[in-house]
Amino acid sequence: MKTKKIIVLGSCNTDMVIKTDRLPVPGETILGGEFLMTPGGKGANQAVAASRLGGNVSFITKTGNDIFGRQSLELYQNENINTDCIFSDPENPSGVALITVDKNAENCIVVASGANKTLSKEEVDTCRAHIENADILLMQFEIPMETVEYAAEIAAKAGVKVIINPAPASHISDELLKNTHVLIPNMTEAEIISGIKVSDWESAKKAADIMNEKGVDIIIITLGSLGALLKMDGEYYEVPVEVKVKAVDTTAAGDTFCGALCVAISEDMPIREAIAFANRAAGITVTKMGAQVSIPYRKDITLP
């Protein structure tokens, strides 16, 4: 049963994906490959993941007044996501991402932000009541940072749990960190925030220490096939991946993890169990091509 409210504030894109044997080097053209076009964007991926996995989700985003924007709105409605706070930009196109995936499931992504970059504090203000009445606010960094910071301040003052996935990797202000209840960086993002190169459990612990000192209550560093490191209340917990899978495409794996984690937290699942649940959901995502098309439903998650 859907109960606690999850607000996802972030980007929506249309992903254009080509799968090749290897990623091209600068100046090189590679022939061949498999193409697909699919809805994406970190915010949208996380909203879809949270809804499919059982969350009561509202999405705050901005599209262009074009076919991609109209298709996105219809898709979110079909995913049982509340779309009352989806705005349309009359001047800028919807966001687009060009993604290349190699045979080892590594990818490189270029994003044309379009309308995403115009999602403003004023538009967040019109959704203030939605945010203040939510239980969780989940955000990423494919929209203007000042918008993220403003929404986090509104949520924190209202006692809403602010969960930040700092992707794409970017500098985070101390003020945003102080308003953040849970921070979910991957290895690259953790390195940029902490200055510590993260490659294993021990280096992740050192990075978590630095982020913890900046005022974040709970740090969860995702470590790919290893699993995730949790630091909370001064203690470290290693939450390894339970089932090894063959990765086909890692696109949206981190987004699925974040959406799943929010759902588990909204269901009052203990945090380590919530991370294990998120690991399982993300593990399913990497076994399929594409972003939202690869995100699992609750029925797909096998509980231990």
Q: Which residues pair with 27 in a beta bridge?
A: none
Cα–Cα separations (whole angstroms), residue 198 to 98, 194, 203, 228, 233: 27, 9, 5, 12, 21
Q: Give the sign of the dihedral formed by CA 50, CA 52, CA 57, CA 59.
A: positive
Strand 218-222 relative to strand 56-64: parallel, antiparallel, unpaired? unpaired
**Per-residue tokens: 260:** 């799943």
| H or E segment and range at residue 74 | helix 67-78
- Measure the CA dihedral 170/173/174/179, to 10°: -90
Active site residue 255: yes
The residues near 220 (Cβ < 8 Å, ≥ 6 apart) are 182, 183, 184, 228, 229, 230, 261, 275
**Per-residue tokens: 151:** 């929404």
CA distance 18 to 65: 26
User: Which residue in the list 21, 102, 255, 268 is annotated as catalytic?
Assistant: 255
Active site residues: 255
